[in-house]
Amino acid sequence: MSSRFEAFLGISVELTAFSRFDLLGTGLAERYLATLDKVVGGEITDTLLAAFVALPPAEGEARIQAVRTTILGNELLGDVARALIKLWYSGTWFELPCAWTERFGPRPADTTFIVSPDAYVEGLLWKAIGAHPAGAKAPGFGSWAFPPKIPALPELVSKA
């Protein structure tokens, strides 16, 4: 794995609270990195990844606060990072806000679209709630009669 892809996985783990194992298991990580490159361009993607790599090795609240101030609260990177979270959770790239486009310039590929049919199916949202994407990965006859099995949060190695 290239260090660029490593950094992409790292920031994805940080933002989604799903493990590398879960993220690689979707089979979509490379395509999502390629989606970022395609929509906002390699330069902004690299800036985002560099901001993640430069995060202080803090844990807990301090780490969350660092992500907020240097990534999610960054005027250039915040909306891109939020789009990345939504992409992982739903398989859909949601068009960046107008304010971002006005300030940093429109990107031709920046429309709301589903990356691929399997991207919808692999959306993390469904996994987070112990359900399954509507229309796929059916849990079996009668399973709905039982309480949901909501997966516990993984022990994330945020320093990795």
Partner 1 sequence: MLFPLESTLKADAKTVAASGEYDIVIVGSGISGAIIAKQAAEAGKRVLMLEAGTGANITLAGYDDLLTTFYSAVSKDNQSPFPLNANAAMPRSPQLRKLQAGETDSSTYIVQSGPYVSDTTYTRIFGGTTMHWEAKTPRMLRSDFKTRSIFGQGLDWPLSFEEIEEDYRLAEQEIGVSANVEDQQYLGQTFPGDYVFPMRGLPLSYLDQQVNKGIEGTSVELCGKTYPLKVRPYPQGRNSIPNPAYDGGKGYRPIGAVDTHQVEEGGRCQGNTNCVPLCPVQARYHSGKTLAKAFAVNAKAGERLVELLSQAVASKVNIDPDNGKVRSLEVKVYKDPASPAHEAITVRGKVFVFAAGAIETARLMLASGLRSTSGLVGRNLMDHAYLLNWALMPQICGTMRGTSSTGGIVDLRDGPFRERQAAFAIDIHNDGWGWATGAPTSDLLELVDDRNLHGADLRRGVVDRVSRQLLLAFMLEVMPDESNRITVDPQYTDALGNMRPILSFTVPEYTMKGAAYGRRFARTVFARLGAQDHTHYDPGDFGYVAYEGQGYAIRGGNHLAGTHIMGTTRTNSVVDKNQRSWDHENLYLVGGGSMPTIGTANVTLTLAAMCFRSSRDILKYLH
Chain mean position to CA 2: 19
E strand residue ranges, 39-106: 92-93
Site string for partner 1, 69-98 (x = CB under 8 A): ---x--------xx--xx--xx-x-x----
CA distances (Å), 21 to each of 1, 64, 80, 138, in order?
14, 21, 23, 21
Q: Which is nearer to partner 1, 2 or 21 (CB)?
A: 21
Tell which positions 109-148 bind partner 1, by CB under 8 A. 112-114, 116-118, 120-121, 125-126, 128-132, 134-136, 138-148
Q: Which is nearer to partner 1, 104 or 113 (CB)?
A: 113
Asked if 38 touches partner 1 (CB under 8 A), the answer is no
Find the helix packing angle between 29-40 and 42-53, rounded to 10°: 120
Q: 59 by DSSP, 3-state: which?
A: coil
Asked if 58 touches partner 1 (CB under 8 A), the answer is no
Candidate residues 7, 9, 15, 48; the one interacting with partner 1 per rule CB under 8 A: 15
C-alpha to C-alpha distance for 96 and 82, rounded to whole angstroms: 9
Backbone angles phi, psi at 114, to 5 degrees: -90, 130
List contacts with partner 1 (CB under 8 A): 14-18, 64, 67-68, 72, 81-82, 85-86, 89-90, 92, 94, 112-114, 116-118, 120-121, 125-126, 128-132, 134-136, 138-148, 150, 153, 156
